[in-house]
Amino acid sequence: MRYPRNVDVWEYAPGRKLAEVVIRVKSVRGAVAVCNKAVAEMGVSILDGSVAATRPSRTATWSFSVDLTDSSFSVKGFRERLLRLPIVESVQIVPSQDGLVVDEQRFPVLWGGRRAVILRADALTEMVDRLWDVFGTGAATIIDQMAEAMGRHSAKEVVDDLGRDFAKDHLEALMGTYTALGFADVALEPGWSSEPRLTVHARQLFECQANIKRKVRRRSVFFRAHIRGFVEEIYGAEAEVEEVQCLAEGGEECSFRVSVPAAAMAPVQARAKAREPDPQS
């Protein structure tokens, strides 16, 4: 089961008293629970939030938006009450203006500890569509090369963080990042153990959903090339990615068959076999 993850950039509630709050607390067990209890006791409603703590930092940051409309506390009083908690080191609050509050305190946006930019799927597809409008069928080459470069860059970061052998051995798990990043609801049909081939099922692929909305019967170019760049960079070998089913052409989902040379998979299969428990032990 999948659960949607919403990134709130702003909240708007006319007539309500909203605020964006960032609390820096001591990184100890139960710190956020203590703050949450204090917020509830003040009659303040939490609308959304997130906690960030990186080891070995001695502090953690709790960022959230609130509705103080039904609370007897003013923004100033709310902040002062939180500051009296022994575990709280700082509190920053941005109040709403005419019911609008924008998350302007949290910057930069990070993905895996690296700088990121949030881009809506419809904005990305508008950019891609503009390429098709301007360059016609030649847009396929441009999109293919751009997406492959993006896939390679993502794979390089994975290799830097995890090591190449680990990335090779856990490619099936790493393909789940496409789900985490919102490309599609990805499910895998593994085949690495028997042959160097993997089938990627991409439900609700943003690229092809946009094609359906625009009544364009066009297969994926961006996602297919991104996968190719990602896999090729990790394995250091040429990969083939074929879309065998497409949502935009009437399929139930988009499916991609990914294959790499057997020689590139041999060390991975050998390590997998070595990790298997000895049935006689």
Candidates 114, 59, 69; CA nearest to 89 is 59
Is residue 268 located within the same domain as residue 215? yes
72 and 158 co-located in one domain: no
Question: Are 130 and 37 found together in one domain?
Answer: no
User: Among 81, 107, 133, where does a domain finish?
Assistant: 107
- Examine residue 115 and state whether it is found in any structural domain, yes or no: no
- The answer to the question of residue 116 being in a domain is no
Residue 142 lies inside a defined structural domain of this protein: yes
Instruction: Please give the single-letter amino acid code of residue 277.
Output: P
If we measure between CA atoms, which residue out of 52, 47, 49 comes closest to residue 24? 52
Single-letter code of the amino acid located at 114: R
User: Which of these, 30, 19, 34, 98, lies nearest to 64 by C-alpha position?
Assistant: 19
What are the phi and psi torsion angles at 186 (to 5°)? Answer: -95, 135
pLDDT score for 280: 67
**Residue 84 forms part of a structural domain:** yes
Residue 113 lies in a domain: no
Identify the pLDDT of residue 194. Answer: 60
- Are 73 and 206 found together in one domain? no
Decide: residue 252, CB within 10 A, 0-12 exposed, 13-18 middle, 19+ buried: exposed
Query: Per-residue confidence of the chain (281 residues) as pLDDT tens digits?
Result: 788 888 888 899 999 999 999 999 998 889 989 999 999 999 999 998 888 877 677 899 999 999 999 999 999 999 999 999 999 999 999 999 999 999 988 889 888 888 999 999 999 999 999 999 999 999 999 999 999 999 999 999 999 999 999 999 998 899 999 999 999 999 988 665 566 788 999 999 999 998 888 787 788 999 999 999 999 999 999 999 999 999 999 899 999 999 998 888 888 878 877 877 766 66
Helix or strand (DSSP H, E) at 191: none
Torsion, Cα of 230, 168, 117, 246 (10° steps): 50
List the one residue out of 36, 34, 29, 35 whose CA is nearest residue 53: 29
Indicate if 49 and 140 belong to the same structural domain. no
- The amino acid occupying position 259 is S
pTM, full prediction:
0.86
114 lies in some domain: no
- Domains identified in the chain, total number: 2
CATH code of the domain covering residue 43: 3.30.70.260
Q: Is 76 helix (H, G, I), strand (E, B) or coil?
A: helix
Domain around 153: 121-275
Q: Give which of 183, 177, 48 is closest to 119, Cα–Cα.
A: 183
Task: Looking at the structure, tell me whether residues 251 and 125 fall in a common domain.
Answer: yes
End-to-end CA distance of the chain: 37
Give dist(CA 79, CA 90) in Å, integer: 9
The pLDDT score that the predictor gives to residue 174 is 93
Among 107, 130, 154, identify where a domain stops. 107
